[in-house]
Structure 1
Amino acid sequence: MGGQIILSHGSDSGPDATKVSVLAAFAESLGWTTQRPDYREEDRRGYAGSIDPRVARLIAAVDMLDRPPVLVGSSMGSFVSGLASLQRPVAGLFLLATPSDIPGYRQAFDLRAGVPTLLYHGWQDDICPPEGVLAFAQRKRLPLVVVDDDHRLSASVDHIVGQFRLFLETVAASA
């Protein structure tokens, strides 16, 4: 197994956040190369104001690679990963606690059709209520794992890693 992965953290977080750090370490143990852009400067512009600069930074990272990467995101990182996939080919999308829209931003969450995708969300998420991602997953016919957890998904990290392993195996097999 192997390939390239870009992991995008959520707002009010950083590249050393728990979930992206755990997933990066796990992927590296399987032979994947990872990078974690630091979006904290962009996040100072506020939620809606950070999206375009975050997408631009993520696209620049994708453009530096020799093949399409897997994009992994948490919350705002999921939102921008999906939008980036509309502009550049990606090998897969593994998205956690995805907001269906960002108040004040011009478009709702979306992603490139046909890209292997797994959405993972908490039933108790009060920041990105699950109804939005449920409707999106149903409309796009995407796999969605919903667990009894909140926005941070702290109680589900081990389960997330297990799902990530399965997802990476699927992506690697289709490459």
Structure 2
Amino acid sequence: MNDVFEEYRVRIARDQSTGRKLSEEWLLGNQRHREDGPAWTEFDRSSGKPMIKEWYIHGKCHRVNGPRAIYFNAVTGKPLSEDWGVDDLEHRVGKPSHIQYDRQGRVILEEWRQMGHLHRDDGGPAIREIDPNTGIVFSEEWYMSGRQHNLYGPAAILRDRETGTIVEQLYFRKGQRLSGAEQLPKFG
């Protein structure tokens, strides 16, 4: 039985005056690569807390069972955003591939992508923006395969951030904006 060995290089940058770690990079050959943790981590110079963690396989930002990139608030350590994906593409089935948080950790933006394209096939919007002060979803957009599309209603809904009242609705089919009678949903 022959064992196979992989030789990694780990590069660590440190602050000259404090000795605190600024970044850590795992390389296989000349590509970022690590199978059991982030291949790139960047740390805040003053707090020493992680600001960025990114997972790579053979030079591509990639992770199957978790976010491939997490960006943190350097003061609180809470996530500011998460990106899910494989092979350098944003991708996640059935859940948002990009999630952005406010400083308190509340979701303020969700985007659903499959193989890099805005796409949601369960009838919900592929983009949702939420006002951090009121909690109101003020913008929703529907997409299929990267094109703005909603067969049964508006493909974009904009609301007042304070009241939630709808201020605009836009209709799209396969990326083409509709007007007048074309906007009516087609059944059957």
Please state which band the TM-score falls in when normalised by the shorter chain. under 0.3
Give TM-score scaled by structure 1 length. Answer: 0.26
Q: Which has the higher helix share?
A: 1
Q: Indicate the structure whose relative CO is greater, using CA pairs within 8 Å and at least 6 residues apart.
A: 1
Q: Which has the higher strand share?
A: 2
Instruction: Determine which structure has more spread, i.e. the larger CA radius of gyration.
Output: 2
